[in-house]
A and B are shown apart, each in its own frame.
Chain A
Amino acid sequence: MPPTTRSDISLRVNGETHVLTVDNRTTLLDALRENLGLTGTKKGCDHGQCGACTVLADGRRAVSCLQLAVAAEGSDITTIEGIADGEDLHPVQEAFLELDGYQCGYCTPGQICSAVAVIKEHAAGWPSAATADVRPDAEPVPLDAAEIRERMSGNLCRCGAYTAIVRAVARASDETKVTA
């Protein structure tokens, strides 16, 4: 018997476990959208180049279009549908709304998932390519516009809403600090 090219998997998404059978070729992105009906996560390029499909896997941002669903089994996935706390929007969502961090909104779920992680990565002391001195004893860098632009560069916006996106991420980062 040839080895099977389908797999029975369980995917943990937004705190719920889903049991499904997938063709091994199915990406996490397609499994979320087509099998689980979670269409908030968007498909832009399908080649890792645009960030529209960004989700959190075990709290870390990842593109879901280059991740196979079968390989995602065992990780805790959070999509845009799971970012808010019930009816309470996440500070990043609030900031995007208040500051118009979008035009058409297509890239927005990916931008928001990415920004949630960017704020955590920065708080954890992760340097970026915009950080002048990456040595661990250097002064921590503020999450200023240059840092936000670099850290968010994996999320393209065809509408060019970048100016407002940068402001929204900065605002959300400040608010997260106040409430933390």
Chain B
Amino acid sequence: MKEFAYSRATGVEEAVSLLAGGSEARFLGGGTNLVDLMKSGVEAPDLLVDVRGLPLGGVEVTADGGLVIGATTTNSDLAVHPEVRRRFPALSQAVLAGASGQLRNVATVGGNLLQRTRCGYFADTSRPCNKRVPGSGCPAIEGEHHNHAILGWSDHCVATNPSDMGVALAAFDAVVSYETVDGPGELPLAEFYPAVGDTPHVETALPAGALITAVTLPAAPVAARSRYRKVRERASYAFATGSLAAALDVRDGVVHEVRIAFGAVASRPWRARAAELSLTGAPATAESFAAAADAELAAAKPLAHNGYKIPLLRNLVVSVLTELAEEAAR
């Protein structure tokens, strides 16, 4: 590991100006991804600016019933917060489905949003990887890619975004607030992770040196009946092979409002807008749910070894929406 300087920021302005002072400076949240990647040599900062002491922790309910989640809130504190569990249960479930108790206790919301892909080639500095070394190639396309993308990938990179939390945030129209030396800004989650294109190393639309300060969830009454389901290769403590966040409001047997987002299928949490469009106004039946899944997955382009994700996601849509509809009918 390369040597680095360490500094604790006590204020937001101080944090962004400290970061601007280092050529290869990084913010340090819980360190559960960054320190790991520094050990592997993927990240080699010369300065870490610790942000956990910033006054950015905690969850607040907004006047209209949405939530403002501070960027340094730990994953545990987010998941167990009563208002998160009441208003956005799928978000609580998504966070609880990720990592382990001893990681969630230190991992922060800001760090979770910016966690890097788990593509094995990305983490192995002896191999080429366009994301790590732009222009070096993508061995995953011909190699090990059973848990890589089926949607939105390009010939330059087929990696997925591994976050569970991000999938629920995508379903609920989260907005990310940040601060820079030039002042604050906001990005809807839908624009936060740019398309892969020929720049897989550009993973967010954040300006350079931006400090994430908060994530806002607009009020969404539909989210009170929501669920996150994650499929993985063992019962717990593994990244998803496919996951789903969904919320459903059925009135008189007809879908009044629906939210669907997929995880582990693309370089970003995948909001399933085509599925939502196909379902809105349709009867709340397993046939409509399957048709909605097909509408979204029509765009899927599986690689040689990850075609299983298409039926996996389709089954997730049908089973989770069926459960939500049955619950609504009770």
- CB pair B236 A149 closer than 8 Å: yes
- CB pair B93 A67 closer than 8 Å: no
Q: Quick one: closest A residue to B94, CB to CB?
A: A129
The answer to whether the Cβ of A94 comes within 8 Å of any Cβ in the partner chain is no
Chain A, 76-126, CB within 8 A of any chain B CB? 114, 117-118, 121, 124-126
Provide 10 A-B residue pairs closer than 8 Å at the C-beta atoms, listed in order of the A residue.
A5-B3, A48-B36, A51-B102, A57-B105, A57-B106, A62-B102, A67-B35, A127-B79, A128-B96, A135-B86
- CB pair B101 A118 closer than 8 Å: yes
- CB pair A4 B103 closer than 8 Å: no
Q: Quick one: closest B residue to A121, CB to CB?
A: B101
The answer to whether the Cβ of A19 comes within 8 Å of any Cβ in the partner chain is no
Instruction: List the interface of chain B (C-beta within 8 A of A).
Output: 1, 3-6, 28, 30-32, 35-36, 38-39, 47-48, 50, 52, 76, 79-80, 82, 85-86, 89, 92-93, 96-97, 99-103, 105-106, 230, 235-237
List 7 extra interface pairs beyond A27-B35, A129-B93, A150-B235, CB under 8 A. A5-B4, A5-B5, A62-B105, A62-B106, A66-B31, A127-B79, A153-B237
- CB pair B39 A47 closer than 8 Å: yes
The answer to whether the Cβ of A21 comes within 8 Å of any Cβ in the partner chain is no
Q: How far is the CA of A60 from the CA of B76 in the complex (A)?
A: 10
* Binary B-proximity of A1-28 (CB < 8 A = 1, otherwise 0): 0011101000000000000000111010
- CB pair B101 A61 closer than 8 Å: yes
In the bound complex, residues from chain B placing their C-beta under 8 Å from that of A153 are: 100, 235-237
Instruction: List the interface of chain A (C-beta within 8 A of B).
Output: 3-5, 7, 23-25, 27, 46-48, 51, 54, 57, 60-63, 66-68, 70-71, 114, 117-118, 121, 124-129, 131, 134-137, 149-151, 153-155
Partner of A25, one of B3, B85, B105, B230: B3
Main secondary structure of the interface of B (DSSP, over half): mixed
A1 CB to closest chain B CB (Å) equals 11
In the bound complex, residues from chain B placing their C-beta under 8 Å from that of A47 are: 36, 39
Q: How far is the CA of A135 from the CA of B36 in the complex (A)?
A: 33
Partner of B97, one of A54, A129, A155: A129
Q: How far is the CA of A27 from the CA of B6 in the complex (A)?
A: 13
Partner of B4, one of A25, A60, A154: A25
Q: How far is the CA of A3 from the CA of B48 in the complex (A)?
A: 12
Task: Indicate the member of B85, B89, B93 with the most A CB atoms within 10 Å.
Answer: B85
- CB pair B100 A66 closer than 8 Å: no
- CB pair A3 B105 closer than 8 Å: no
A153 CB to closest chain B CB (Å) equals 4
